[in-house]
Amino acid sequence: MQPTRILQGMRYRKLRLTTKDVNKGYYKGTGSGSMGRHTKHGGYVIEWDKVRTYVCPPLEGFKLTPFVSQTIRPQHGIYNGDPNGPRNPELYLSRWKSENGFD
Amino acid sequence: MASPGAVRPSVGAALQSCLAGSAACSRNAASMMPMAARIASSTVRPVRVQTAALSTTASLLKRHKYPGARSNRDMSKRRGESAIRRTGTRWRLSVSDDPLPQPVKRAELPAIETDPDHGLWEFFADRNTVAAPPEEVAKHGRAWMVEELRAKSWDDLHRLWWVCVKERNRIATADWERNRGKLGFGKSESGERDKVVKKTMQGIKHVLTERQYAWEDAVKLAETDPEIDLSGEGPVFTPKEYLEAEDVLVESETAESTNDSTEPSKAVPSETTPLEPNPQSSTAPRL
C-alpha cells in the first residue's frame, strides 16, 4: 500500500505533528483534559474527582436575562480610591463580620 | 433422439409452408430462413415430416412460428425485467395475484405527534420560526457590568450562567438554520448578540474568580484578627465590644451600625457563610 501524496517525500515533514507521530514518548493531547492516570500495565484508571460534571440548576422562576436594559447606565463601585478595591481582604472581612458573623 | 430424417423445426416448418404452395407463406418462409438455409433449400430435397395418425407432431411443430420468433432458447430468464421501469416479473409468481398495498398519500398521512413540553423546544426562541429576522435579533440590551454582577449571590450567578448558555445555544441554532436554509441576512446581528452574551459570561467568571481570591486573602488576614477564632472550638466571630463585656444588645447594634457606615454599599462581594467552609454558597439578603 502506498501513502497518499501528501505523505510522500519531504511534504510530510512540513505537516503538523499528530498524536501518532514520533517515538520516544512524544505526547500530544487532544484538548479533552486529564481524567485519570495510567497504570503500569498500560491501562488507564479514571479518577472521578478529575472528571468534569456540569450542573445546571433549576431555572423555574428565574427572571434575570443575559442582557441589561440600555436605559440603566453603568455605574462603577465606590472603593474610596483603594487600588485593590473589590479584592481588598479588609473590606471582605468587615462585610463578612457585619452580615454573618452571628449565626 | 431425433431420427436422421428429422429436420430442425424452423427449417422443417419453412419447408412445409413452401410445400403447401401459398405465395405469402413462401415469402414469409423465405424471409424467416437464415441465409444458409435459403441457399440450402434450393438444393435440398423436399422432406415430408413423418406423422402417424392422431399424432400431434405437426401441430406442435407449428408453435412459436410468429414473426420475430426465436430460433434458440432465451438463456436470460430475467430478460427485460426492470424495477425502474416497473415492468413486473417476467414469469408469474405465486403472489402475482395478490394485490399490492398502496402507500398513503402524503396529504392524508396522520400528523406527527410531538410533546409540546419537550426540552428540545428550548433551542428555538419561537417554535414556529427557526430563525428570527435580523430586526428582531438586534433587539437586545447591553451586557452585564462586572460591578452589577459583584452584587449577585452564587445562586443567581450560577443560574444566570446557564441562562446565557441556553441563549448562546439558541443563537447558534438560528445561525445553523439560517445557513442551511439560505434564509438570508442576519449573521452580523446574530454575532453581535452572541458577543453581548459572551461578555456577560466573561463578567460572571471574573466576579467568581475575584471572590475566590478575596476569600483566600481574607482567610489569611483573619488568622491575625483577634476577633476571629478559626480553630473550630467556640464561635468564629466575637466582636470587640462583646469581648469588653459590654451590654449584649448594645454591642450587636453598634457592630452593625459601625460596619454599615464604613463599608461601601455595592462594592463588597456578598458573602453569607462562615469563613472556613465553602466560601461561595447560598444567598442571603444584601445590605
For chain A, give me the number of helices (H) and strands (E)? Answer: 1, 3
Which B residues, 196 through 215, put their C-beta within 8 Å of a C-beta on chain A? 196-197, 200-201, 210, 213-215
What's the rounded Cα separation, in Å, for the pair B271 and B281?
8
Q: Measure in Å the smallest separation between the Cα of B153 and chain A Cα atoms.
A: 13
* Crossing angle of the two packed helices B187-222 and A89-100, in degrees rounded to 10: 80
Secondary structure E strands in chain A: 36-38, 44-46, 67-68
Residues of chain B contacting A67 with CB distance shorter than 8 Å: 140-143, 196-197, 200
B48 burial via Cβ count (<10 Å: 0-12, 13-18, 19+) = exposed
Residue B161's pLDDT band (cuts 50, 70, 90): very high
pLDDT given at position B233: 82
Rounded to two decimals, the pTM is 0.60
CA atoms in the 13 A half-sphere facing the CB of B275? 29
Please determine, for residue B15, whether its predicted confidence score (pLDDT) is greater than 90.
no
* Residue B106 dihedral angles phi and psi, to the nearest 5°: -55, -35
What pLDDT, in 10s, does the model give residues B228-273? 888 888 888 887 776 555 555 554 555 444 444 333 333 444 444 4
**Range list of H helices, chain B:** 9-20, 23-32, 35-43, 57-61, 134-137, 146-150, 154-180, 187-222, 240-243, 248-262
Amino acid, res. B138: A
What ipTM was assigned to the predicted interfaces of this complex? 0.78
**Range list of H helices, chain A:** 89-100
Comparing A73-87, B114-128, B148-162, B170-184, the range with the smallest average pLDDT is A73-87
What pLDDT, in 10s, does the model give residues A6-45? 788 888 888 899 999 888 889 999 999 999 999 999 999 9
Query: What does B99-144 look like in DSSP terms, one character per residue?
Result: PPPPPPPGGGSPPPP--TT-GGGGG-SBTTBSS--HHHHT---EEP
Residue B237 is classified by DSSP as B
What pLDDT, in 10s, does the model give residues B165-191? 999 999 999 999 999 999 999 999 999
Cα nearest neighbour of A96 on chain B: B271
Q: Which of B195, B268, B270, B278 is the best mutation test for A, with the most CBs of A within 10 A?
A: B268
What's the rounded Cα separation, in Å, for the pair A92 and B100?
81
CA dihedral (A81, A84, A87, A92) positive or negative: negative
Query: How far is CA B90 from each of CA B65, B67, B93, B107, rounded to the nearest angstrom?
Result: 21, 21, 9, 34
Choose among B127, B132, B142, B200: nearest CA to B171: B132
What pLDDT, in 10s, does the model give residues A47-73? 999 999 999 999 999 999 999 999 999
